[in-house]
Amino acid sequence: MLSVEEALSRILAEIRPLESVSLPLDQALGSVLAQDIVAHEDMPPFDNSAMDGFALLSQDSKPQAGQAPRLRVIGGVAAGYVAQTRVEAGTAMRIMTGAPVPAGADTVIQVELTNSDGPQSEWVEILQEVPPGNNIRPAGEDMRSGQTILTRGQEIGAWEIGILATLGYAQVQVVRRPRVAILGTGDEVVDIDAELQPGQIRNSNSYLLEAAVRQAGGIPQRLGVARDTAKSLREKFSQAVHADLILTSGGVSVGDFDLVKDIMHEQGAINFWRINMKPGKPVAFGKISGIPLLGLPGNPVSSAVTFELFGRPVVRKLQGHTRLQRQQIEVVVEQDIQERAMRRHYVRAHVTQRAGKFIARPTGNQGSNIMTSLLQANALLVIPEGGATFKAGEHIQAIMLNWPED
């Protein structure tokens, strides 16, 4: 049996990031940059005021014989405008936050440190001496023309979008998001709006996987459910020709699996593994017509957990991420957890922070068919191979499902 790590590294060895595309900035959130982002101008582009106040010459702010200097106000400049007159010695100009500092002035004093005769005042008294550069945000203070600000491979979050916008990148080169075809299998599996006939169940896996693919940054495409026949599988796979990844669920129990295997042999190559874990029955990995295929188990919890451990890293690698796996931290178990199974067990659990400690509580019945064990679960506790007992208060490793990748 393969370890989880071995299976994942074999899968990832076959996956290459996709090519890049140009996207409008407002569609780039969550994508990975395929270009370095260079500033083509200084930011801010011009020296500007950090305060509402007066622009003046620093030397004019020195008290004279203990008296606050009084300067002549020669006008005003608001954000978005450029002053047409110079500030000369003995004069000052009213200035608003973000407005370009007028020629001649070398400093700005905030309005609170001045005295004047209201907004139209023709004079201003300077109540404090201010050094040159005071309250001036110099051109290029944040970013310099020619400077590389973001690099290829970085993920675009909301704050990076802000940087790209300020630098005028209306379009940005990013790694294309993978299209992921999702196929259910099984004669017993019907669509979710069907009236259940005896022996039937609804296709929950495809919908769960569709959502999980979307959360992982992929573009899902549900192909419905293939019946347990070679003909039906062949027909469904033929609809996946434009996909970058095919996910199937079910049909990987040893008996059933022969069907998928036959078709993969016919149209590509197949690896079929037993992975030393639970939940999670055998997982299939291979290619069909050159497209990677990940065959997940049919049991809903197994399908969800194996997607998390194998599918999500694949989707992330395809879209250019280098950090593929969730963060794993040490948590404290709230109650005894005992496990006799020889396989590594991923226990669905809820982790909360209390008094500076992360405390984990399993979410109930851990059967691989018990979908409600996924509810409230924000972590997978990792019980090592061979079984183990963790007493209340002991530490255990937890994969944090809502944390960003590390």
Residue 299's binding partner out of Mg ion, ligand AMP, none, with CB under 5 to 8 Å set by partner kind:
ligand AMP
- Burial code (b: 16+ CB inside 10 Å, e: under 16) for 244-256 equals bbbbbbbbbeeee
Assigned token pair, 192: 């979710």
Residue 300's binding partner out of Mg ion, ligand AMP, none, with CB under 5 to 8 Å set by partner kind:
ligand AMP
In this complex, which beta carbon is closest to ligand AMP, that of residue 53 or of residue 300? 300
Partnered with residue 20 across adjacent β-strands are 175
| CB of residue 42 to ligand AMP, shortest distance in Å | 56
Q: Is the peptide bond before 63 cis (omega within 30 degrees of 0)?
A: no
Of residues 165 through 224, those in contact with Mg ion by CB under 5 A are: 186
In this complex, which beta carbon is closest to ligand AMP, that of residue 100 or of residue 300? 300
Rounded distance, CA 110 to CA 52, Å? 6
Q: Choose, by CB under 6 A, the member of 20, 31, 91, 249 that binds ligand AMP.
A: 249
Of residues 241 through 280, those in contact with Mg ion by CB under 5 A are: 250-251
| CB of residue 215 to ligand AMP, shortest distance in Å | 19
Of residues 274 through 333, those in contact with ligand AMP by CB under 6 A are: 297-300
Looking at beta carbons, which residue is closest to ligand AMP? 298
Q: Choose, by CB under 6 A, the member of 186, 279, 292, 311 that binds ligand AMP.
A: 186
Assigned token pair, 320: 């250019």
| CB of residue 358 to ligand AMP, shortest distance in Å | 32
Of residues 250 through 269, those in contact with ligand AMP by CB under 6 A are: 250-253, 256
In this complex, which beta carbon is closest to ligand AMP, that of residue 61 or of residue 248? 248
Q: Burial of 375 by CB count in 10 Å (0-12 exposed, 13-18 middle, 19+ buried)?
A: exposed
In this complex, which beta carbon is closest to ligand AMP, that of residue 108 or of residue 296? 296
Q: x/- binding map, residues 189-218, to ligand AMP, per CB under 6 A?
A: x-----------x-xxxx------------
Count of residues near ligand AMP by CB under 6 A: 19
Q: Does 220 bind ligand AMP (CB under 6 A)?
A: no
Please count the residues of the chain: 406
Provide the CA 156 distance to its chain's centre, in angstroms.
Answer: 7
In this complex, which beta carbon is closest to Mg ion, that of residue 297 or of residue 320? 297
Residue 362's binding partner out of ligand AMP, Mg ion, none, with CB under 5 to 8 Å set by partner kind:
none
Q: Is 7 helix (H, G, I), strand (E, B) or coil?
A: helix
Work out the widest C-alpha separation in the chain, in whole angstroms.
101
The amino acid at residue 134 is N
Rounded distance, CA 273 to CA 267, Å? 19
* Residue (of 99, 108, 100) closest to 61 by Cα position: 108
In this complex, which beta carbon is closest to ligand AMP, that of residue 203 or of residue 363? 203
Q: Choose, by CB under 6 A, the member of 69, 100, 102, 184 that binds ligand AMP.
A: 184
Rounded distance, CA 276 to CA 137, Å? 60
| CB of residue 291 to ligand AMP, shortest distance in Å | 20
Rounded (to 5) percent helix, strand, coil in the chain: 20, 35, 45
Beta-carbon contacts of residue 380 (< 8 Å; ≥ 6 apart): 305, 308, 346, 347, 348, 349, 398, 399, 401
CA quadruple 46, 52, 57, 59: dihedral sign: negative
In this complex, which beta carbon is closest to Mg ion, that of residue 217 or of residue 280? 280
Rounded distance, CA 175 to CA 318, Å? 8
In this complex, which beta carbon is closest to ligand AMP, that of residue 69 or of residue 298? 298
Which residues here bind ligand AMP, judged by CB under 6 A?
184, 186, 188-189, 201, 203-206, 249-253, 256, 297-300
Residues that bind Mg ion (CB under 5 A): 186, 250-251
